[in-house]
Structure 1
Amino acid sequence: MPLTPTAYVWALSGSADTLTGRGGVSAGSLGSTVRVPAADALARIVVAGHFMDSGPNPWPGRSGGRIGPFAGIGVSLGNRGEGSIGGRVRRRLGWHCGNGDHRAHNSRAGRVEGRLMNRRILVNAGLGVLVLGLGVAGLVALFTPRQDPYANLPTTKVLRGTLAATVTASGNVESGITASLQMPGAGGVITRVYVKTGSQVNAGDRLVRVDPTSAREQLASAQASLASANAAMTNATRGRTDVERRSDAASVAAASQALTNANRLLSIAEESYALVVQQQAEIIAPLQAAVDDAQQALSDDKVELARLKAELAATDPSDTGTIAQLEAQISQLEAQIVTDTATLTAAEGSLAQAERTRDTLVLQARQSLTAQRASRDAAQKALAQAKAAVAVAQQPPNPGSVQAAQAQIDAANVAVDQARRALDDTVLRAPFSGTVSTVNAVVGQSAAASLGSASGAGGGLVTLVNPDGKRVVAFIAEADVAAVKVGQEAAVNLPATGLDLTARVVSVDVQSTVTNNVVQYLTTLALDAPPASVKVGQTASLSITTASKPDVLFVPTSAIATDGLTSYVIKTSGGKPTRVEVTTGMTGTTGTEITSGLSEGDSVLLSNTGGTGNPGLFPTAAQSSAR
């Protein structure tokens, strides 16, 4: 039987149909074996990487054949067998394979169906190429290393030193300094005046003090709040230590033992109560019986006395013997009634005393039992509380608790700094060296807070002059002036000569100066011991230190990022970049204080989107973990 084009299509498409007839041809599923009788042809079909072999060809002949260009589907066919047996299967599938003495012939229908088959094969080939391309692209993406999001970010070290916040400005040198000085802080009652008119003072010398009691109390309270906040952070972030775990176990064991003891004492109290009730019942029972017997005897005697008296009344008066006998019985019975009454009274008294004793003993036993039940209940509650406390203490850190603790620490640090400055401000110090020209401060009087004035003698507590001194007058921007206070130190540079000097803020004008819609405040600084080379009118660059902390750990602010209320850095010390949560303190011009989470010398990343004074921006925790 010839292998028809239809049969061949079935073989590729996976049809389970079978063609039967002379020789027999079976078209199975894709990738299965298609067998053609050896008398027809020897065929090996390769479809999508699967081989389908025909039956063996026992006839020697020329093998080899051709592979059709079917985009990954090759057909290799033995061409001809020996003699007239054989035939051809060609790419167009319009050919029949001859069998026996049949000759292959061209069929027009076969050619048409072959062309359709070619088109189908080309479409399938295109889809195969597309799938292959996508697979290759997927493999390339799978095995290509992902880019490290931190690869191009610079690093910096955690430093230890003095962290300062500064305000910069530029001004000019002027001659002569006069300042009318007020208290720099909230003022208060003056408790000490250190100078008098004519006194010579140096920069930083004390001039006047107000009562510091309230400021000290506020500082102590702020420090206590900071300690409490730090303790809360410690509890929120750390696990239980071995000592604490042993203490937890000991607390639970002690509570459990206390419950055991309470249960034992309760059992004793219950047994004691039952015993008291039983013993008193045994004591009361015979006494109650004695009372009952005495009552019955008295009742019987009274009944008998009544009967005798009735009988006596009914006896014939002439029967003196009977009357005498009855009267004797009545007299005897009356005496017995008196005895019975006394016996009953005694029995009732004994019973009443015994009942009072019983009631007292039973009440005491009941009270003891109630107390022991309360102790047992309290021990049960204490054990439950101890177990609950241990369970809470052993829970992992709660992010919400950590964030809340960090917020408390930040607020407490600010409060401590403010309280410390308030305490410092209870002393008025000389902003420059000079002579005290006027003293208006009087002990016991109230001193109001005010910014000093550099324009002659005013209404200040102390007026200080230095006609030979030199000052720098500069305008401070509106956004920065709130941080500038009298007495603050400043670094001064004279660009014309390159000379570096120091100065102190003498005054800050209360009234603003507006130039071209820019609001500024005139600020005067006294130069500390300027050399003679400093000339009036020279330009000066100022850097006023508005806050300072010595011996602190700090990093550039651009190394710190935030996630909600949590601050963190990307630490690179020891290999792979790792997110580390940190506790921050003061923010200065050169960086931000680190109070916990890092050590001096640790290496951290700088954000390429952050900058001086701006928080760093890094990939999120999810992005970091996905690297």
Structure 2
Amino acid sequence: MFINSALVVALVLTAGGTWWFLRPAEAAATPEGQSVRSSTAGVGTVTTTIAAQGTLQSAAVTDVSFGTSGAIASVDVAVGTVVAEGTQLGTLDPATAAATASTTLLSPVAGTVTAMSGAVGDTVSAGTSSSGSGASDAGAGASDAGTGASTGASSAFVTISSTTSLRITASFDESDAAQLEVGQSADVTFPAVEGASATATVTAIDPVGTATSSVVTFGATITLDAPPEGVRLGQTASLTVTTAEAVDVLTVPSQAVTIDVTPTVDATTGEQIVTGTVTVLAADGTQAEQAVTVGVQGDATSEILSGLAEGDTVVISVDTAVGATETTTETRGFGSSAPSGGTGTGPQQGGGNR
């Protein structure tokens, strides 16, 4: 009787071990104790941007001077005065001015007085009025060729700056500057003025960079489409330039895409093709790596040109709970018994992923 019982036990253990060794392999599923963050591929817009800070300036500056020499009899404006076209700026003493010249100076443009030179009793020489795009910050702004911008200290009686035509001069590091093009759009905010914002356009880029402590930057001019209320000339502006955009394209979160280090080169056109991989999550929880071709790469989302379809679910990250053990699939030899539930478990120290 003892022999028969031992034989039965041996047969059971052998059968169990044979089943465990020959059982079909399981699909790669999400391990127990792990949380998967995923997203669904969908149609949307992808944008690539670069950011910088700059200084708000007038895009139209006019230097105004008397047309004849003489002694100043009156000064009718001050720095900060808002003037309209035709506003009286000052007069000369008729006794000291040429008989044929006008002794009254009128503003040729509308704007704000931003600089003055001269006081009552001072003798001025005959000058000419000129218009320009405003002085540029050295090394920080693009120079507009042929605009007639004045440099150095102005000798004009009055300098009038437009407050309706505004621009920003900003510096970009050389890697960002390589993405800049005239005509690109930008969004502008002003840290010192709550709620003030504007849209703008890149209108000029310095052709030569400026090196400071071995760091090369390029200046650019960004012109505001319309001035927001409450801002002042000289204030700091924060801007974000859109350098690339793809509309109505298939997108996934950029975190879900692993970009290949070496891009593929199209044999026909010679253009570089950006490739990468994503992990596709099936409805049953299984995961599979999928090769994709990538278009515009944004900070939040990336354009997928091929490899996925709308509605596919991709893995963003897999988080393991502290102290959790990871479920694994193991192959056991003859004589091993199957644990309860028919799956083998191998504890992972610290609950890490494999």
Higher strand share: 2
When normalised by structure 1's length, the TM-score is: 0.28
Higher helix share: 1
